[in-house]
Amino acid sequence: MNLLTVKRIFRAGLLDFWRNGFVSVASILMLVFTLFIIGVAMFASVIVNTTVTQLQDKANMSVTMQTTASEESVLNLKASIEALPEVQSVTYQNREDVLVAFKDRFADDQLTIQSLGEVGNPFGAKLTITAKDISAYDSIAGFLKTQVDSGAAASVVDKINFYDQKYHDALVNLQNVTASAQKIGLVALIVFILTTIAIALNTLRLAIYSSREEIQVQRLVGASAFFIRAPFIIEGVLYGLVAGVITLLLFYPLTWWVGNATAQFFGGVNVFSYYLSHFPFFFLVIVGTGVLLGGVASFLAVRRYLKI
């Protein structure tokens, strides 16, 4: 295919784009709607993932040791816990560190501090465990319980508990809700995309019908199937390109308006700042998806209705 043919194809596509004004506007609006939903889903995913990560950082498991446990036995248990694939990190605090932390926490409670002076150090060493995933804590707790029941750590471990149960419970609930929301969102997104393609097929069918005489002439003079299809595909790509740019422009004032609110209520994520810093990624996804949808819809419309 020579350069002259390429120029003719692009020129025909541009002419159809401008000539079919109503069809173009209708197709672009439907694509904008679908691309907007995709963009909102991207922002929602960022907010939810950041919130889950922050809650997960605050959720951990603490293992309190017997006051008679030796440091060597505690460190051996620490090494065995660190060897678990579910574990991200294990922090060790000896008895003195735990006592200092307790005194700092209750520095204003003089009665409690005086009582400690009389009884000495009642605390055992402590291991603070952070898992790679919130669902792994049950597995880690099962491992520790097995160690205690088997006698390997019976004289070492005193108590196993989640350091901050409220964060753990909130994170579990949030993950359950997130998993359900992602499934529902995926189904809704697929429905929107299929609806957009169906409407684009119908609107492009009108454009093809209005060009039926031109197509018949092209057939009579021996134009190839590709030469007839290509301008309509170019037209669909233009729909997607324009719709993608419009969608990106809509997100600018919208994210600016809600940016401070999301920063305050969703773990410090300012969607406006995130949008600006990740604009190339959004441009690639939104515009790329628009171009792909427009091109595919046009190709299917031509293939189905022209029967060439």
Question: pLDDT tens digit string along 194-237?
Answer: 776 676 667 666 666 666 666 666 666 766 667 777 787 888 88
Please tell me the least confidently modeled range out of 69-83, 100-114, 146-160, 216-230.
Answer: 216-230
Mean pLDDT of 73-77: 86
pLDDT at position 163 over 60 = no
- Quick one: pLDDT at residue 204? 64
Mean pLDDT of 146-171: 70
Query: Is pLDDT larger for residue 268 or for residue 269?
Result: 269
Torsion of CA 203, 209, 212, 215, to 10 degrees: 20
* Res. 164 pLDDT band, cuts 50 70 90: low
* Res. 162 pLDDT band, cuts 50 70 90: low
73: Cα separation from own chain's centroid: 42
Domains of the chain, first to last = 3-55+170-305 (no CATH), 60-163 (3.30.70.3040)
Question: pLDDT tens digit string along 2-37?
Answer: 666 667 666 766 666 666 667 778 778 888 888 888
Report d(CA 53, CA 61) in Å as an integer.
16
Question: pLDDT tens digit string along 47-74?
Answer: 877 777 776 666 778 888 888 888 888 8
Mean pLDDT of 238-248: 91
- Quick one: pLDDT at residue 244? 92
Report d(CA 147, CA 287) in Å as an integer.
56
pLDDT at position 185 over 90 = no
If you write DSSP's letter for every residue of 155-215 in order, what string do you get?
TTEEEEEETTHHHHHHHHHHHHHHHHHHHHHHHHHHHHHHHHHHHHHHHHHHHHHHTHHHH
pLDDT at position 251 over 70 = yes
Torsion of CA 117, 118, 119, 120, to 10 degrees: 40
* Res. 288 pLDDT band, cuts 50 70 90: very high
Mean pLDDT of 118-128: 80
- Quick one: pLDDT at residue 77? 86
Q: Do residues 65 and 147 lie in contact, with contact meaning Cβ atoms separated by under 8 Å?
A: no
